Amino acid sequence: MAIAQPLPRTSVFRRPTATRGFASWLTTVDHKRIGILYGVTSFAFFLLGGIEALLLRWQLATPDGQLLDADSYNQLFTMHGLTMIFLVVMPLSAAFFNYLTPLMIGARDVAFPRLNAFSYWIFLLGGLFLYSSWFLGGAPDGGWFGYAPLSSQMPGVNMDFYAVGLQIVGVASLVSAVNFIVTIFNERAPGMSLMRMPVFVWMTLVVSFLLLFALPVIAIALFQLAGDRILGTNFFDASAGGDPVLWQHMFWIFGHPEVYILILPAMGIVSEILPTFSRKPLFGYPAVVFAGAAIGFMGWGVWAHHMFTSGLGPVANAAFALSTMFIAVPTGIKIFNWLGTMWGGVLRFTTPMLFAIGFVAMFVIGGLSGVTHSIVPSDWQQHDTYYIVAHFHYVLFGGSIFGLFGGAYYWFPKFSGRTYDERLGKLHFWLMLIGFNLTFAPMHLLGLEGMPRRIYTYGEGLGFDVWNMVATVGAFTIAASVLVFMVNVVRSLARGAKTSADPWDGRTLEWTIPSPPPHYNFAEIPTVRARDDFWHRKYTEDESGRVTPVVAGAATTEEDVEHEDEEHHDIHMPDPSYWPLVAAAGLPFIGYGIIFDWVWAVPGALLLLVGLFGWSLEPVAEEGH
Amino acid sequence: MSTAEVRHEAHTATGLDNRKLGMWAFLGSECLFFGALITTYMLYRNRSVVGPFPEEIYDIPFTSVSSFVLLMSSLTMVLALSAIQRGDHQGLRIWLLATAFLGLTFLGGQVYEFTVFVKEGLTVTRNVFGSSFFVLTGFHGLHVTVGVLMLLHHFGMSLAGRIGQEDSLRIELVGLYWHFVDIVWVIIFTVVYLIPT
């Protein structure tokens, strides 16, 4: 300690102290507020991506559609895919990770609160960077997977924005992956062993590892693409000896784990909703956890099933066909566990429960059509047709989005302290379920009839007319259901009835604290004695196995009561900080520098460096309060 | 260092400090980062349609020397950590500076090597060997540069009296990163330079 004299600190900024108002949101390091920022931002991007989808469907509603030309169609379908994957499902999952993981493991915050803010700001600015392409020469137009050598040779800045924009957004996910791995391993409350963690936390952990190992691979691929486009390297130039399928390998080594990055959070959410509304523990908890981990491992060995038509040869095709069939096994295990959870339960069909059941049903359809792709000759037939579009929307919309909406309703009382309108919630669910199936079920037929993906129009008399019109009607039904959701949220935030800490009779730790939670989460860090600890504090089983409430007060020992008031004064929470925002603000400038003129990179690099240095010199929390 | 951070170091569920676990996770990610770069290089080193080709251009004795310099910097890094753990602040500063100096020497060697290669006609745009070689070794050099900046930053912090004996973990973290970058170079030197095409 001798040498560690705290120096008088000289800082550009005074440490921000605001707890309300705009500035407080810019500087917050509270995981709950960052979760809300993630949620609101990604919902805004969801609306943008949805509008793009509606434009596409309007164009395709009738043969020889006149709304869009080929160029704008290309930009719209590319941005729709990029938006929904990188700016909606991933950050929306991150919103739930942020808000819930610390609450579920009994922690006061994530391991690195400022790093968490840094992730969010990079995501927001990276998303805006991608969208700024519309005004700066054109949006990416080479598909969300941007296959080189096509993408490396397309003219314009469009695919430059792809290569650089995804890189920025990727940094956000990488940083948050490190953060959540450390949080989940290190910040668990006493007694919260790994096998007592809620399944949602497990899935967060698996997803974080997938992100950790998948993102560097796409980062390299994107560097190579940017190099080919901007510097003139030869990575994807076949005439110089470059390998035309290298990009596909690199992209899908990232891209297939990415598929599980998109679905596992929703699976975790559903694994929380179903037990609560069935009044039963999750059926086969260890099987669900290990199946999730198995998917995380096996997800690395199936990437080439995206490339069956690229000429890999029969041995590689057969191997990847088998691994693809195998990965359906752990997925199937989860389905049966969810069904087993509901079996014999006391079911309450609330909105979140409906979405969870909808998730299971729609995901089964999407999963089964996925297995059909593992049959190589069948895949050759389906490749690049609307059958593929139908498949991945069943898993990503019918799967991920349904799960995420279910989670939004389930935890809405916890986030806001208010109840939502159950009637509007159910209207939302049924409209969305019907609209979704109207939109995407016909695409199976269109695909099998031979309608290719990514065409901006089609001729009359090819047999595509009826189902395309049905799909468009479905898409607008989905849009109507999203409007119902928005009305519900706005009305409920303003006028919803106040809710208690535990409106659903829940099982996990977030329901033990007030709604909305105080900024320090837990007045006293809980001690966990069992899986579904909160449930066991409330209920026990009699000899015949029936659930009976614990006699009031018996669950809290005298010890607990004594401690209740002591610690409030001694809770040290990390202080807000400007530095994450300053550092993150550098990245888009560096991006513009790479694409347009290097001078832009100078202020960008300065912001980044100043931000990081200011950050490293600033303590997590100020002294003396 | 501020007591806030000492307190933050306190008990965790695994007993490992947050920052240390975070660094290990990040280094795990870096394995895939360099893995992808090295794989691309291995795929492309024999596929150029125009020269210069790898065997014509590598100067193995020169690169061996600069590799040795980088390896020795791991030794000085260990000595820096050991010094601060014993509370030897003078030793910490000497060895941090020595490590940074060896790192800069390696970087100087890389700049010289790149210059020679460019003079002999190998540029990043010349052929696929050039593209994959420069991007791989360039990213490694960038990592060394970041490491040198971190070393100098901690050297300055130590001069300002802001690294106490109880903050040895901060030096350990820099060391983890530095050793990792070193190990990656061992792999690059072996598979890129030594294994004949």
pLDDT at residue number A13: 66
d(CA A37, CA A30) in angstroms, rounded, equals 11
* CATH code 3.40.50.450 for B16-194: no
- B44, A242: Cβ pair inside 8 Å? yes
C-alpha torsion sign, points A581, A585, A586, A590: positive
- Least CB-CB distance to A620: which of B5, B47, B50? B5
pLDDT at residue number B3: 39
CA dihedral A23, A27, A30, A31 (to 10 degrees): 110
At A465, the pLDDT band (50, 70, 90 cuts) reads: very high
Share of chain A above pLDDT 70, in %: 94
How distant, in Å, are the alpha carbons of A159, A353, A525 from that of A559? 62, 37, 13
| pLDDT over 90 (residue A446) | yes
What is the separation, in whole angstroms, between the first and last Cα of chain A? 22
- B7, A246: Cβ pair inside 8 Å? no
- B29, A239: Cβ pair inside 8 Å? no
Full-model pTM = 0.94
| pLDDT over 90 (residue B135) | yes
- B21, A223: Cβ pair inside 8 Å? no
User: Closest approach of chain B CAs to the CA of A42, in angstroms?
Assistant: 26
Single-letter code of the amino acid located at A108 = R
| pLDDT over 50 (residue A557) | no
Specify the range with the lowest mean pLDDT, choosing from A319-333, A334-348, A532-546, A606-620: A532-546
At B7, the pLDDT band (50, 70, 90 cuts) reads: very low
- Least CB-CB distance to B162: which of A7, A182, A227? A7
Residues B149-163 pLDDT 10s:
999 999 999 999 989
User: Closest approach of chain B CAs to the CA of A444, in angstroms?
Assistant: 36
DSSP 3-state of A66 = coil
Q: What's the mean pLDDT in A382-403?
A: 96
Cβ of A227 under 8 Å from any chain B Cβ? Answer: yes
- B135, A224: Cβ pair inside 8 Å? yes
Q: What's the mean pLDDT in A36-46?
A: 98
Q: Of the candidates A99, A160, A76, A62, which has an alpha carbon nearest to the alpha carbon of residue A415?
A: A99
Residues A225-252 pLDDT 10s:
999 999 999 999 999 999 989 999 999 9
Report residue A486: phi and psi, to 5°: -65, -40
Task: Parse chain B into domains and list their residue ranges.
Answer: 16-194
* Sequence-separated (6 or more) residues with CB below 8 Å from residue B117: B52, B57, B123, B130
In chain B, which residue's Cα lies nearest the Cα of A1? B164
User: Closest approach of chain A CAs to the CA of B7, in angstroms?
Assistant: 10
Residues B45-102 pLDDT 10s:
989 999 899 989 999 999 999 999 999 999 999 999 999 999 999 999 999 999 999 9
pLDDT at residue number A69: 95
Give burial (CB, 10 Å; 0-12/13-18/19+) of B85: middle
| pLDDT over 50 (residue A625) | no
Q: Model ipTM?
A: 0.93
Q: Of the candidates A37, A200, A222, which has an alpha carbon nearest to the alpha carbon of residue A118?
A: A37
pLDDT at residue number A18: 73
Residues A271-305 pLDDT 10s:
999 999 999 999 999 999 999 999 999 999 999 99
Selected residue of B19, B128, B176 to mutate for chain A interface (largest A Cβ count, 10 A) = B128
d(CA A36, CA A579) in angstroms, rounded, equals 20
- A231, B124: Cβ pair inside 8 Å? yes
- Residues 142-201 on A with a CB inside 8 Å of B are 174, 177-179, 181-182, 185-188, 192
Q: Tell me which DSSP letter residue A620 carries.
A: S
Asked if omega into A8 is within 30° of 0 (cis), the reply is no
- A622, B4: Cβ pair inside 8 Å? yes
DSSP 3-state of A549 = strand
- Least CB-CB distance to A185: which of B1, B14, B124? B14
- A235, B131: Cβ pair inside 8 Å? yes
Within 8 A of A243 by CB-CB distance, chain B residues are: 43-44, 47
Cβ of A619 under 8 Å from any chain B Cβ? Answer: yes
Q: How far is CA A307 from the centre of its chain?
A: 25
Residues A497-523 pLDDT 10s:
999 999 999 999 999 999 999 999 999
Specify the range with the lowest mean pLDDT, choosing from A16-30, A364-378, A524-538, B68-82: A16-30
What topology does CATH give the domain A30-574?
Answer: Cytochrome C Oxidase; Chain A (1.20.210)
Task: Parse chain A into domains and list their residue ranges.
Answer: 30-574
- Least CB-CB distance to A620: which of B8, B36, B161? B8
HEC assignment per residue over chain B: CCHHHHHHCCCCCCCCCHHHHHHHHHHHHHHHHHHHHHHHHHHHCCCCCCCCCHHHHCCHHHHHHHHHHHHHHHHHHHHHHHHHHCCCHHHHHHHHHHHHHHHHHHHHHHHHHHHHHHHCCCCCCCCHHHHHHHHHHHHHHHHHHHHHHHHHHHHHHHHCCCCCHHHHHHHHHHHHHHHHHHHHHHHHHHHHHHCCC
Q: Tell me which DSSP letter residue A517 carries.
A: P
Cα angle for residues A373, A377, A379 (degrees, 5° grid): 30
| pLDDT over 60 (residue A553) | no
d(CA A162, CA A120) in angstroms, rounded, equals 20
Report residue A539: phi and psi, to 5°: -130, 155
Residues A68-116 pLDDT 10s:
999 999 999 999 999 999 999 999 999 999 999 999 999 999 999 999 9
Q: Tell me which DSSP letter residue A107 carries.
A: -
Q: Of the candidates B167, B131, B1, B112, which has an alpha carbon nearest to the alpha carbon of residue B54?
A: B131
Q: What's the mean pLDDT in A343-359?
A: 96
- A572, B4: Cβ pair inside 8 Å? yes
Cβ of A7 under 8 Å from any chain B Cβ? Answer: yes
- Residues 304-333 on A with a CB inside 8 Å of B are none
Residue A450, sorted as left (phi over 0), alpha (psi -120 to 50) or beta, turns out to be left
How distant, in Å, are the alpha carbons of A209, A446, A475, A521 from that of A54? 35, 18, 7, 41
| pLDDT over 60 (residue A11) | no
Q: Of the candidates A418, A434, A407, A435, which has an alpha carbon nearest to the alpha carbon of residue A351?
A: A407
